[in-house]
A = this chain, B = another copy of it.
């Protein structure tokens, strides 16, 4: 297959957009990406979304959005992989252009979650778990992650405060991201005193939901020139892997085997090693997930993920592997089916050098990892500035 490049990006502020409909949010990001790319009539549309049937009463979402943005005849495909939907849609768009089936693809991740009250959203998010054997027992998505975190702390002897650097780093970086949901600095004290959600996960271990959309335009790489101040961004690696849907079915619930596998495949495809990665937008839906992702991708030893945070290795300034450079799920926000596309857009902003105070110096290779469920569907992408 031929190499592909990402030519345009667009994103909306993540917020409670009660005044905007699902199509308006998606359209806002899509039109920005079209404008940024100069591609007005993409051949196809790929949409990542998890909750529009449950929260918006809308299925057939790709055609719905194609209609809204004026792509009336074009192929339109909606992909759902729970919170991994955005990354999965990006991969589908990459494949469509890489294969030669299309000359341009618009990919949009979109989610509108805040029009409904809390209980509905919690129940909707639990559809990412196994309906028969997990959700049926009354477990919510945060409580599944709490079980994983509790076991992890027990196995490896970490205290709750040891996870604070993940959230502190994310909140600090989001201060400089105008699209982020949260703009407040936090401290270890605040982290420790935050309201408990599901022991040991408190409010500052957990990412906030929100409404938002992020979009890109994908074209063949040979159609894009590298200009001064505007490098060509190619998709160097793209991989997807899965694990059991239920946590209790895994050989080792503390190892994200699909993250290990998809990152390994992405490294191989890109021809890079993990030491070449200048920044890593990981899927910190809960602080425990930052640790597990860093370990599965080989940036930390098993059980030693929190060490990277405690040793200042995850920071933009001088960190060995800067993560959540635009705030991550924790502070940029987590509009679930859109999140994977926010990660892609943010990696591109870094590779373009557009990140101001959270710019990773000389960033040339960035990685994005998007997780569906409690580690069941994991997509890893490596982007490269040329």
Partner of A245, one of B63, B77, B99, B131: B63
CB distance from A359 to the nearest CB of B (A): 33
- Count copies of this chain in the complex: 2
Q: Mark A201-243, 1 if CB is under 8 A from B, else 0.
A: 0000000000000000000000000000000000000011111
Partner of A376, one of B63, B80, B84, B130: B63
Does A377 touch B at the CB level, under 8 Å?
yes
Q: How many chain-A residues does the 8 Å CB contact rule pick out?
A: 63
Partner of A63, one of B57, B72, B100, B377: B377
CB distance from A108 to the nearest CB of B (A): 14
Q: Mark A99-129, 1 if CB is under 8 A from B, else 0.
A: 1110000000000000000000000101110
Does A66 touch B at the CB level, under 8 Å?
yes
CB distance from A315 to the nearest CB of B (A): 33
In the complex, residue of chain B having the shortest beta-carbon distance to the beta carbon of A246: B67
CB distance from A105 to the nearest CB of B (A): 12
CB distance from A263 to the nearest CB of B (A): 13
CB-based contact A21/B132 at 8 Å = yes
Q: Which of A227-267 contact B (CB under 8 A)?
A: 239-246, 249, 257-258, 261
CB-based contact B81/A80 at 8 Å = no
Chain B residues, Cβ within 8 Å of A100: 1, 99
Does A60 touch B at the CB level, under 8 Å?
yes
A interface residues (Cβ-Cβ under 8 A, vs B): 1, 21, 23, 50-51, 53-54, 56-64, 66-67, 71-82, 84, 88, 92, 95-96, 98-101, 124, 126-128, 130-132, 135, 239-246, 249, 257-258, 261, 372-373, 376-377
